[in-house]
Amino acid sequence: MKEFRFKIILILGAIGLSIYLLFPTYKNYTNNKEIAKIISDRQLELKETQPSVSKIELDKIDKFVEDSIKASNPSYEIIKSKSIKLGLDLQGGMRVVLEVNTGKLLEKLAKNPDDTFHKVIVDAEKESALSNESVVEIFAGMMQTRGIRLSRYYGTVRDEDSKIIDDLNTSSEDAVARAMEIIRNRIDQYGVSEPTIQRQGSRRVIVELPGIAREEEAKQLLQGTALLQFNLVKDAQSTINIMQRIDEVLAGKTDSTVDKTKKDTSITVNDSLLNQELSPEEFAKQHPFFSVALINPNSQTADAYVSEDQKDKLQFMLSRPEVTAVIPNNVEFHFSAKPFGVQDGKSIYVLYLVNKAPELTGGVITDAQATIDPSTSGAIVNMQMNSEGASDWARITGANIGKRIAIILDGAVYSAPNVINKIPSGNSQITGMANLEEAKLLEIVLKAGALPAPVSIIEERTVGPSLGEDSIRAGLKAAIIGFLLVAIFMVFYYRRAGEIAAASLIFTVLFILGVLAGFGATLTLPGIAGIILTIGMAVDANVLIYERIREEISTGKTVKASVDSGFAKANSAIIDSNITTFLTGIILYQFGSGPVQGFALTLMIGIVASLFSALVIAKSIFNILVSKGVKINLG
Amino acid sequence: MQLFNNIKIDWLGRRKIFYSLSAVLFLIGVINVIFRGFVFGIDFKGGTEIVLQYEKPIEISNIRSLVENTSLGNLEVKTFGGETGVLLRTDLQNLPKELFPIVVANIEKAIELLYPGLSRRIVDSTVSSVTYEFPNHDTTTTLISELFNAGFQAGKVSESLDNKQMVVNVGISEWIKENLKNKITDNNFKIVKEDHVGPKIGNELKQDALIAILFSLIAILVYLAFRFKFIFALGAVVALFHDVLITLGLYATLYGVIPGLNLEIDLTVVAAFLTLVGYSVNDTVIVFDRVRENLKIHKTIPLNDVLNMSVNRTMSRTLLTGGTTLLTTLVLLLFGGEVLRAFAFTLFFGIIIGTYSSIFVASALVLEYAKRKDKKFQF
């Protein structure tokens, strides 16, 4: 046995690792069942007690219940992140491919466009629909054949065509970055779990939204232009006052007279807030709002800090009717778009209270650039406005020196800089960014309001959850039947050796699933097909080996010698044939998208797993049995 | 149990028979490709596809007659899965022009219902949308949400605070849904799948698919040339071409012939073809591996006999390996569900043809070459 010790450890290790990697998937499955049960119970209860609740409200409550269950036990999320993910085709959802409409962008960028220009743009767009060339190139080509220099519409008179083309290409690249930022921001606020937003090529964005229920709404979300506005941040004292009122209402203290008596000039905070003697539980009970939205009492501002897992809870609190009743209707709360920092592994967001009426909207901005200020070497963003905006801006900044103005894109606050002095020209400088990347993001945001990137949906696929469930069921059924048929055939044809092959087949499937879970890969319906196909292909190696062993035995060799040379001589055929399949797997992975990639992945993992099963596991079992003198029946 | 043990058949002497068999299969395919052509799914063609799931079983002819009046001339209607599923498809990207007045009339009706006599004007209308302008911002905003709730694809033109314009998208799928919802009232449906693919993506994918298949053939050619001899690699790749072309021909031949089998070329079918390329070469490799081994041992025996001997000795394993995989693709074909059917079909027939060509075509090609060049191989 000693000679096999290493291999046995290797095999047991691989099996143990696979089971370990798959455990979260199993646990996640049972967790989801539990949560679904709690939610459906709650729903029944709600329907009985409050039959008037609308479907949308019900959905909202469901989501809140689900979030709070998950928030109460962080292990749910950890387990989920470690389990095998299901593709959109299995869990239902929506996949949208967006393309930035370069034609529209060219129109917007052009100075004094005339009829010829419009005509050429229309032609260029038509041609680009069926061509691989970009609209910019086609447009430039068409202009050149007409003998018109691009400088007539873009840049300055002296600019060469090639420079203008470069500039236009950069603008179109920028437009994609803006579109992505806008989409990401909206999806974050819409509350889709695990969205993926990726860029494809130079002007496309792929968005995948798993489990989305109201697709029409989601589609609109993706296509609309962005709303950029500048709102005055409320002063610290009024913010604190409003927050305290909310806190009291939530705690059930409806004594609204308290607020009226507390009109002080300095920032006052309710005594019990600073009372450190309260236990966390008691504090949460007495101050439901402040236990979630944390205030720094030493700060000059009244920005509240919220950890990411509490964001939904806070939003829910703020949307409750008794709370909205105490919020004055000229102000509103907005979260920061990006986390302010990270604490205990959780991102911290900032909650701002701003004037509802914006001081200015984004249409007045003509340009923005992120750069490094040479004198302070800090990251800054320079922003320019048109003349109309500039005069408003001068008035606004002049009247609000020392106050903060929030830059809000689609309801999320990207930055809230202080007004340092009156800005007469509209050329403003925003400082305070941590690094150039942050400044770049603000540049994108500012430009998003200035120049909406018109995007159009060029591909859209929606799979309902019921079809996904049917697919999973059909796939599982086929996998089990396929497995049984192949295993029965092997046992029937090769007897004892067939049993070994069938056993190693179980391990092959286990390894495939384990690797999928370990890499956090996504299982799609074609992926399931890949596993089923692998079941049929995995025994190929066993067949090649057994046939070879039979051949060797027929030449009169001993069983031990036959097994050895059978494994050795079948090797080259097994390796060569599997490598060719693996090669096409790689190409398929490159070519495919979504579901097809899932197939390529399981196919490749399957090849490696089946080789391990046949060449290591089955061989070891053979060798151990032979060395113990067990007679192996090859049928 | 042992099958095909110790067979001694002169396969290569009969290679003319196999050539003619392959030629016949190939010709049938070519003729059908020419006269019937391929049917591409919307992945490649572009278009709109909707799958509806009704609560109760529904007559497909009933749906067909209902949508006939929707003026979408070439609207395809098929069952999907069981008796309650309906697949509707058209390769149109946009609603036909003549339908526009009806759509606009519907929007007008809805506006009249909410705000009778509201002054409005149509500022823009494209192939897929109508843009309205109203007197003030608030009415516009409420109207948009009301129309949206009523099932129209209404939205703001801009998010600016004085926006007075509303754009209503009118796509094919909205039109179909609206039509069917109003006509069958006792049997509701929900949409289980909805795909919309633009024509450009389709063209790009076609190109990508061809490139992918070519690349994998080249990769196999290079790998096998490196492991065997170039002519062996060429024989294997020609055999692969043979498999892919005959299976493609089968697609053109059998399209619409077998009920319930939807032989359209879409992305998963291309994946199946690529898998076929990768897998079908396995059996060829098994035979060639034995040829390589036998050429080393039996240096004096003529190539013809070495090839025959190798084919005969590997016959059982070639059939068994192909057989087990065939078994699983058959299971997929029967139980894998609607979405995977064409995929499973491709592999099922592809593997049959691939196994046949591995045994009878690939080696024969090597022999032809050797005879013509009067060449001997040494490994």
Give pLDDT tens digits for B155-208. Answer: 776 656 667 778 787 777 777 777 777 777 777 787 788 888 877 777 778 888
Domain boundaries, position B89: 47-94+173-197
Nearest-neighbour CA in chain A from B37: distance (Å): 22
Give CA–CA dist A494/A341, Å, rounded: 63
Residue of chain B whose alpha carbon sits nearest to that of A490: B324
On whether both B253 and B282 belong to a single domain, the answer is yes
Tokens 């928030």 appear where?
Answer: A71
Q: Could you tell me if B235 and B260 lie in one domain?
A: yes
pLDDT band at B5 (very low <50, low <70, confident <90, very high): confident
The answer to whether the Cβ–Cβ distance between B313 and A130 falls below 8 Å is no
- For chain B, say whether A120 makes contact (Cβ under 8 Å): no
B282:A215 CB<8 A: no
For the four alpha carbons of A249, A250, A251 and A252, in that order, the dihedral sign comes to positive
Question: Could you tell me if B355 and B226 lie in one domain?
Answer: yes
User: Which of B257, B233, B263, B236 lies closest to B342, judged by CA?
Assistant: B263
Judged by a CB distance cut-off of 8 A, whether residue B194 touches chain A is: yes
Report chain A's terminal Cα–Cα distance, integer Å.
27
Minimal Cβ distance to B336: which of A130, A358, A478: A478
Query: What is the CA angle B133-B135-B136, rounded to 5?
Result: 105
Is the pLDDT confidence value at A216 over 50?
Answer: yes
Q: Which A positions 91-110 lie with beta carbon below 8 A of chain B?
A: 97
Model confidence over A87-130: pLDDT tens digits? 888 888 888 888 887 877 787 777 777 888 888 888 887 787 66
Q: Does B335 touch chain A (CB under 8 A)?
A: yes
Residues of chain A above pLDDT 90, percent? 15
Residues of A in contact with B208 (CB under 8 A): 591
CATH number at residue B305: 1.20.1640.10
Residue of B nearest to A635 (CA): B1
* B5 within a domain of the structure (yes/no): no
Q: What is the pLDDT of residue B372?
A: 86
Q: Tell me if residue A160 falls in helix, strand or coil.
A: coil
Cα B70 from Cα A607, distance rounded (Å): 50
- Which member of B196, B289, B335 has the closest CB to residue A460? B196
pLDDT at A261: 40
B225 touches A: beta carbon within 8 Å: no
**DSSP collapsed to 3 states, A484-538:** HHHHHHHHHHHHHHHHHHHHHHHHHHHHHHHHHHHCCCEECHHHHHHHHHHHHHH
Confidence grade of residue A427 (pLDDT, cut at 50, 70, 90): confident
Q: Which of B335, B347, B355 to probe by mutation at the A interface, max A CB count within 10 Å?
A: B335
Cβ atoms of A606 and A531 closer than 8 Å: yes
Listed in sequence order, the residues at least 6 apart from A73 whose beta carbon sits closer than 8 Å to its beta carbon are: none
CATH number of B160's domain: 3.90.1070
* DSSP run (H or E) holding A431: strand A428-433
**Residue B179: CA count within 13 A, CB half-sphere:** 21
Same domain as B209, residue B76: no
- Is the domain of B231 the same as that of B317? yes
Buried b vs exposed e over A529-539: b needs ≥16 C-beta within 10 Å? bbbbbbbbbbb
CB atoms within 10 A of CB B66: 16
Average pLDDT, stretch B32-52?
85
CA atoms within 13 A on the CB side of B176: 31
Nearest CA to B324 among A551, A523, A494? A494
pLDDT at site A205:
86
Q: Do B86 and B115 have their domain in common?
A: no
Degrees to nearest 5, angle at CA A217 with A211 and A221: 100
Per-residue DSSP letter, B130: E
Q: Which of A135-139, A509-513, B292-296, B375-379 has the lowest mean pLDDT?
A: B375-379
Beta carbon pairs, A and B, within 8 Å: 235
Residues B192 and B263 in one domain: no
From B268's Cα to the closest Cα of chain A, the distance in A is: 6
Contact by Cβ (8 Å): A386, A426: yes
Q: Looking up tokens 């849904």, which residue turns up?
A: B177
In a domain, B323, yes or no: yes
- Position B48 scores a pLDDT of 84
Residue A214 in this model has a pLDDT that exceeds 70:
no
Residue A331: its H or E element: strand A331-335
Q: What angle do CA B307, B311, B315 make, to 5 degrees?
A: 175
Quick check: B215 contacting A, CB < 8 Å? yes
Cα nearest neighbour of A491 on chain B:
B1
B351 in the same domain as B222: yes
Contact A83, A28 (CB under 8 A): yes
Reduced 3-state DSSP string for A76-131? HHHHHHHCCEECHHHHCEEEEEEEECHHHHHHHHCCCCCHHHHHHHHHHHHHHCCC
> A512 by DSSP, 3-state: which?
helix
State yes or no: pLDDT of B347 exceeds 70: yes
Cα–Cα dist B262/B42, whole Å: 13
Contact criterion met (CB below 8 Å) for A110 and A52? no
Contact B289 A220 (CB under 8 A): no
Same domain for B190 and B299?
no
What is the ipTM score, two decimals? 0.84
pLDDT tens readout for residues B99-134: 777 778 888 888 888 888 888 888 777 666 788 888
The answer, for B162 touching chain A at a CB cutoff of 8 Å, is: no
- What is the pLDDT confidence band of residue A260, given thresholds at 50, 70 and 90? very low
Both tokens of residue A454?
């018109």
Question: Cβ of A474 and B337 within 8 Å?
Answer: yes
The owner of tokens 């050539």 is: B19
Note which residues in 442-461 of chain A have CB less than 8 A from chain B.
452, 457-461
Residue B370: which pLDDT band, with cuts at 50, 70 and 90? confident
Domain boundary among B162, B197, B232: B197
Query: A269 touching B, CB under 8 A?
Result: no
CA dihedral of B230, B232, B238, B244, whole degrees rounded to 10: -120
Tens digit of each residue's pLDDT (9 = 90 or more) over A471-488? 888 899 999 999 999 999
Mutation for testing the A interface, residue in B87, B141, B311, B324 having most A CBs under 10 Å: B324
Q: Which residue of chain B has the CA closest to A125?
A: B200
Neighbours of A323 (CB within 10 A): 17
A8-38 pLDDT tens trace: 899 999 999 999 999 998 998 898 888 888 8
Give CA–CA dist A443/A438, Å, rounded.
9
> How confident is the model over A267-273, as a mean pLDDT?
51
Once rounded to an integer, what is the mean pLDDT over residues A151-180? 82
Between positions 253 and 292 of B, the ones with CB within 8 A of A are: 267-268, 270-271, 274-275, 277-279, 281-283, 285-286, 289-290
CB pair distance less than 8 Å for A599 and B286: no
| Cβ count near B210 (within 10 Å) | 11
More confident residue, A583 or B202: A583
Asked if residues B271 and A596 have their Cβ atoms less than 8 Å apart, the reply is: yes
Average pLDDT, chain A: 82
Assess if residue B4 is contained within a domain. Answer: no
* B318: nearest CA partner in chain A: A544
Contacts of A232 (CB under 8 A, 6+ apart): A354, A355, A359, A400, A403, A404, A405, A406
Residues A311-346: tens digit of each pLDDT: 878 887 887 778 888 888 888 898 888 888 888 778
Q: Is residue B177 part of a domain?
A: yes
**Which of B228, B331, B338, B347 should we substitute to test contact with A (largest number of A Cβ atoms within 10 Å)?**
B331
Region of B82 please: left (phi>0), alpha (psi -120 to 50) or beta: beta
pLDDT for A604 equals 93
pLDDT at A582: 92
Q: Is residue B258 part of a domain?
A: yes
Give residue A266's pLDDT band: very low, low, confident or very high (50, 70, 90): very low
DSSP designation for A615: I
- CATH number, position B52: 3.30.70.3400
CA-to-CA separations, A619 to A488, A551, A623, in angstroms, rounded: 20, 17, 6
**What pLDDT, on a 0 to 100 scale, did the predictor assign at position B236?**
93
pLDDT of A609 over the 90 cut? yes
Residues 470-499 of A with CB under 8 A from B: 470-471, 474-475, 477-478, 481-482, 485-486, 489-490, 492-493
Spatial separation of the C-alpha atoms in residues B220 and B237, rounded to whole Å: 7
| pLDDT top residue among B58 and A453 | B58
Q: Are residues B309 and B274 in the same domain?
A: yes
* CA distances (Å), origin B42, targets B92, B126, B132, B198, B230: 10, 23, 32, 9, 40
Q: Which residue has the tokens 């219940």?
A: A65
Beta bridge partners of B168: B130, B154
SS3 A158: coil
Sign of the Cα pseudo-torsion (A605, A606, A612, A617, in order):
positive
Confidence of residue A55 (pLDDT cuts 50, 70, 90): low
For the ranges A383-397, A578-592, B146-160, B270-284, which has the lowest average pLDDT? B146-160
CA pair distance A124, A147, nearest whole angstrom: 16
Q: Are residues B73 and B132 in the same domain?
A: no
Domain count, chain B: 3
Q: Find chain A residues with C-beta within 8 A of B200's C-beta.
A: 128-130, 458
Q: Which residue has the tokens 């603000």?
A: A442
CA triple A462-A40-B84, angle to 5 deg: 45
Answer whether A524's CB lies under 8 Å from A599's CB: yes
- Which residues of chain B have a CB within 8 Å of the CB of A460? 194-197
Domain assignment present for B305:
yes
Structure tokens at A38: 């709690």
Q: Which amino acid is at B262?
A: N
* Residue at B7 is within a domain: no
Question: Does the residue B158 lie in any domain?
Answer: yes
pLDDT at A273 over 60: no
- Does B184 lie in the same domain as B161? no
